[in-house]
Each structure stands twice: as C-alpha cells, then as structure tokens.
C-alpha cells in the first residue's frame, strides 16, 4: 500500500492509499475533492473507499463530490457520527475491522476532539515494516486535538490506546501543526533533549516548507507532552500527578498559548 500525502487548505493533509496489486485507491479525510481527483487521475486508479475519522468539514468536505465521480465507493465513519458524515455507509465501533486491498485496519474509538472520533490502524504485514495509524485530529505530531465535544478523561483514554502501538508505527495526522506544537512543548518540558533536537529539525523542515508528517509513535512518546502525563517533568509543570488532571492542565495551557 502506497500512501500519498496531499496538502489541502492552509494546513490539512489528505491521504490517498493506493493498493498497487489490485489498482484501487482509498482516501482518508478528503477535506477538498480537487487534489484527490487530480491524484486519482494521475495514478489512473479507481476510488473504492473513503475513510472518515470525524465529521468536521475539513475532513468530510470532499465526500459528495468524490461519490459523484465514483458512485461505487463506500464511506466509512464512526457509529456515533451517524447523520453528521455525508453519505456514510458504514458505522464503525471500537475493535471493528475494515479491509482495503491486502491490508486490514482495526478501528479505535477515540473520543475527545469530538464525541464520535475514530482512528484507523493498519498493522504491518511483515515484521520489518511499520504499521500505519490514521488518527485525524486526535493525536498530532507534538500535540493533540482540541477538546470540542469530549472530556480530558476521554482523551487520555483515547491517547493511551495509541501509546500501546509499536514504536515505529507511522502517525498520519490530519494537520501540519508540528512547529507550533513543539514551541508549546518546550515551555512545559524544557529539559527534554529529544524534544529540543526535534524542534530544531522541524523548524528547519518548515523553513523549507517541507512536511513533518508522518511522525512515529516512538518519537511522540519521547517528545509530545500530551502523551507524557505520567513523566516527572510534566507532573511538575502542571503540579498534578493525576493523569487526567495533568493532561487537562496541559490542554488548557496549550489553548491559551
Ligand atoms: Zn476536527
Ligand atoms: Fe481538522
């Protein structure tokens, strides 16, 4: 499965998945149909599936147009997004599996950013390859999504699921927020040398307008404060050794940053 990362709007990423063996494509969170149609034409491939993580328009805005072009394509989304995702056909819950070509994704129910948000995890098909996590607006490189509909407790549970994935799992999140996220991270975890190095790399990449996505779970666990609520530095920065309270305070600080 080849993954094509398409920039959209000011900071969104859309991911086109291409199964070369069967020459079929799927798309994760088509914010805008135009770049997707262009890429599909370029690859000369048929769209068979749309994988939506949640109902926000910068994730589902392309559904209708893509279905006009590819009426046989099916739309996947979370069961609790019923009525909010245009033309949704499948209503997924935690632990469900969906297949695409020779890969099968496991669904994680990850409420927090919205109350219905899901993520798609494609485990590796061989031992020396990484798996792929499409996590929408739940986990970002160096940060996490705002809590629009969910609670800190839900988000901690959701992010905890990602912490259990293999370190080299590729993290395909839906926005290029990494530099700003790491600027904040340095304010709460200033002694973290991995974080400092990452910040310098990301700053350099963004100066040259290069993408910082995908990230990987190992890097996130070392440098993302929103996966580090149980580390002494973050406990000190928030003055709380309660996971949910530590996380909630970090999220509150980031909202003001
Ligand atoms: Zn969103
Ligand atoms: Fe978004």
Taking only the tens place, the pLDDT of each residue in 240-252 is 999 999 999 999 9
pLDDT at 172: 98
pLDDT above 90 for 177:
yes
Q: How many domains does the chain have?
A: 1
pLDDT above 90 for 75:
yes
**How many other C-beta atoms are found inside a 10 Å radius of the C-beta of residue 112?**
27
For 90-102, write each residue's pLDDT tens digit.
999 999 999 999 9
Range of the domain at 6: 2-255
pLDDT at 150: 98
Rounded to the nearest whole angstrom, what is the distance from the C-alpha of residue 88 to the centroid of ligand 1?
17
**Mean pLDDT taken over the chain:** 98
pLDDT above 90 for 174:
yes
**Sole residue written with tokens 């020459």:** 23
Taking residues 127-142, report their average pLDDT: 96
Contact yes or no for 234/189 (Cβ under 8 A): yes
Rounded to the nearest whole angstrom, what is the distance from the C-alpha of residue 110 to the centroid of ligand 1?
13
pLDDT at 134: 99
Q: How many helices and strands (H and E) does the chain possess?
A: 9, 14
Annotated catalytic sites, by residue? Answer: 54, 56, 58-59, 113, 137, 175
Closest to 159 (Cα-Cα) out of 193, 107, 112, 93? 112
pLDDT at 224: 98
What CATH number corresponds to the domain at position 247? 3.60.15.10
pLDDT at 32: 98
pTM of the predicted protein model = 0.98
Q: How far apart are CA 240 and CA 61, in angstroms?
A: 40
Rounded to the nearest whole angstrom, what is the distance from the C-alpha of residue 141 to the centroid of ligand 2?
13
CA distances to 23, 61, 70, 145 from 46, rounded to whole Å, are 7, 19, 7, 32
CA distances to 13, 22, 47, 158, 211 from 3, rounded to whole Å, are 12, 15, 14, 24, 14
At 127, the pLDDT band (50, 70, 90 cuts) reads: confident
């Amino acid at each position: 499965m080849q993954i094509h990362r398409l920039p959209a709007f000011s900071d969104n990423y859309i991911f086109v998945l291409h199964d070369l063996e069967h020459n079929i494509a799927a798309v994760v969170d088509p914010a805008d149909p135009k770049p997707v149609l262009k890429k599909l034409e370029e690859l000369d491939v048929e769209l068979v599936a749309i994988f939506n993580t949640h109902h926000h328009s910068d994730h589902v805005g392309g559904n209708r147009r893509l279905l006009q072009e590819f009426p046989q394509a099916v739309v996947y989304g979370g069961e609790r997004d019923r009525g909010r995702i245009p033309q949704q056909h499948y209503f997924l819950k935690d632990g469900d599996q969906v297949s695409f070509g020779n890969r099968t994704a496991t669904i994680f129910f990850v409420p927090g950013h919205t109350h219905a948000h899901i993520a798609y995890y494609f485990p590796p098909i061989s031992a020396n390859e990484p798996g792929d996590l499409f996590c929408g607006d739940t986990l970002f490189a160096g940060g996490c999504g705002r809590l629009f509909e969910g609670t800190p407790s839900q988000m901690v549970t959701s992010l905890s699921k990602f912490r259990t994935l293999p370190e080299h799992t590729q993290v395909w999140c839906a926005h290029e927020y990494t530099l700003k996220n790491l600027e904040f991270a340095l304010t709460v975890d200033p002694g973290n040398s991995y974080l400092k190095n990452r910040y310098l790399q990301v700053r350099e990449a963004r100066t040259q307008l290069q993408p910082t996505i995908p990230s990987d779970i190992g890097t996130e666990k070392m440098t993302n404060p929103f996966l580090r609520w149980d580390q002494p530095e973050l406990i000190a920065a928030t003055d709380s050794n309660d996971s949910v309270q530590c996380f909630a305070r970090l999220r509150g600080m980031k909202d003001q940053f």
